[in-house]
Amino acid sequence: MNKKNRRGVFRAIAACTLSAAMLLSGGCGSKGAQRGPGGPNAQQGGTIFVITKQSLSFWDDVKKGAADAGEEFGYDIVFREGTNDNDYSSQEAAIYDAVKKKAKAIVIAPNGKTELNKAFEEAEKNGIKIININSRADYEGVASFIRCSDYESGSVAARNAITLLQVKDPELATLKNIAIIPSTAATSEERVAGFIDSFTSQAADAIAPIDMTETNEKKVQDARSAKIDAYKKGVIQGAACSSESAAKDAAMKVLQSNRDSISVMFGTNTNTTLGICEAIEELELENDITVVGFNSDEKELAYIKTHVLDGTVIQNPYMMGYVGVRYAKRAINGDSVPSRMDTGAVFVDAENINDDFIQLMIYPDGKPDAAENTDGGEG
């Protein structure tokens, strides 16, 4: 290549380089200008497994919340569930699957307190964060426990049952017994306990009126405690039921033998609440017995409108799923998360059923055009 050619090639390369440099310099300037707040969630996260107890409407709302959070924060959500609320082996397999698929976190409502610990250990060993929702898992590696307290939810039901009774009888002078139809679900025991403790505590003056003739304070308290304990022991509890028809049978059985001695009936989940409502409706006891239950199945909502069901406690499964994934994201990013969170419970009755907040709790995605949900729910 002679000198003349070299000069020509040099000029061509110089012109191209200059153009490229100008473009790049423009690009560099714009890149700096584009740096916005970004936030901690700017990057795409990975996969989070959401493992629920079983296939019921309650868990559908949990999934809706989880799916929304996954979409908002850039995570792929994989859903798994047990076949029933005792099926921990399906959940165990789901955890191992999460390990295999290199999930970043697991959000789980365990079907057992300790049965999944081995799988949890394996997951933790692989760097997977564990977020526990709904019912407690006795495992130390749980980053956060998000739930609506079953005991407190039972208490909410009791407190509102008393408020309803006080509408007709402010002093509860005619207060009679409580009848409870529990479900076979793991949540039932605490709900029943919360209901009975709160009811007897808040209706203590009616259950055990203070003996004004007795001057010994201790004797007065002991006498009251004894009466309250006796009231608690006298609470009518039907057999634990796993289906609506079984709950109806149990409620019918209780009512046929105790209909005149019951002020309040309490169902601990959808099936038992619906069973009680069917029995009350059949026996035409709507005006005689206050019925409170759990969850917000369409049939339950219909019973509220016809005043067969006086009120129901609803939890916030959508919030549970949403916050579960949100806390999982925070744990993945190394941010601190609260060790526990109570998503709260709300009592729904004919008076507040149309409130915006209640409607949002019942229908996280907006009210459907037609009633589609009839399969019952369980929290």
Partner 1 sequence: MAKNNKSKGSGAYIFAGILIAIIYIINTFLVESIYWGNQEVSQKTGQANSALNKINSELTAINMDSISIAAGIIPPEDIGITMGDTNKRYGNIIAAEHQFEAIEDLSPTVVKRYNYAKALITAFKDKLDSLGTKNVQAGNEEMMADILKQEIYPLQTAASEMLISTIDVVNVETAKMNAANTKRAFALMTVMMIVAILGEIAVWLFARRAKKIRAELEEREKNLAEVDAKLKATRQKASDLAVINVLTGMKNRYALDSDVSDRLETGRFNIAVFDMDNFRSINDTYGYDFGDEYLAAVAEKLKEEFGDVAEIYNITGNEFCFLFNSSVTESQAMGIAQNIQRVMSSPYEVLNLAVQLPCSGAVYHYLPGDCLNVNSLLVKLDTALRTVKMNGGNMINTVMNM
| Of positions 15, 226, 239, 371, contacts partner 1 by CB under 8 A | 15
| Of positions 48, 51, 142, 148, contacts partner 1 by CB under 8 A | 148
Kindly state whether residue 3 participates in binding partner 1, applying the rule CB under 8 A: no
- Distances, alpha carbon 196 to alpha carbons 6, 190, 264, in Å: 97, 10, 11
* Residue 43 burial class via C-beta count within 10 angstroms: exposed 0-12, middle 13-18, buried 19 and up: exposed
Kindly state whether residue 50 participates in binding partner 1, applying the rule CB under 8 A: no
Kindly state whether residue 152 participates in binding partner 1, applying the rule CB under 8 A: yes
Kindly state whether residue 155 participates in binding partner 1, applying the rule CB under 8 A: yes
Three-state DSSP state, 347 = strand
Segment interacting with partner 1 (CB under 8 A) among 54-62, 153-161, 168-176, 259-267:
153-161
Closest to partner 1 by CB, 273 vs 316, is 316
User: Could you tell me the smallest distance in angstroms from the CB atom of residue 159 to partner 1?
Assistant: 6
233's tokens? 């022991």
| Of positions 73, 139, 266, 303, contacts partner 1 by CB under 8 A | 73
* Residue 181 burial class via C-beta count within 10 angstroms: exposed 0-12, middle 13-18, buried 19 and up: buried
Q: Which amino acid is at 258?
A: N
Window 306 to 345, contacts with partner 1 (CB under 8 A): 316, 319, 322-323, 326, 341-345
Window 187 to 246, contacts with partner 1 (CB under 8 A): 198, 201-202
Instruction: Select from 145, 144, 230, 192 the least CA-distant residue to 313.
Output: 192
Q: How, if at all, do strands 340-342 and 262-267 pair?
A: unpaired
User: Could you tell me the smallest distance in angstroms from the CB atom of residue 149 to partner 1?
Assistant: 8
- As a whole number of angstroms, the distance between CA 289 and CA 291 comes to 6
Segment interacting with partner 1 (CB under 8 A) among 20-28, 175-183, 244-252, 272-280:
20-28
Closest to partner 1 by CB, 88 vs 145, is 145
Kindly state whether residue 71 participates in binding partner 1, applying the rule CB under 8 A: yes
Contact, 292 vs 319, CB < 8 A? no
Chain centre to alpha carbon of residue 65: 11
Three-state DSSP state, 130 = strand
Provide the angle, in degrees to the nearest 10, between the axes of the packed helices 88-100 and 117-125.
10
Site residues (vs partner 1, CB under 8 A) = 8, 11-12, 15-16, 18-20, 22-23, 26-27, 29-31, 33-42, 68-69, 71-74, 148-149, 152-153, 155-156, 159, 198, 201-202, 316, 319, 322-323, 326, 341-346, 355-357, 360
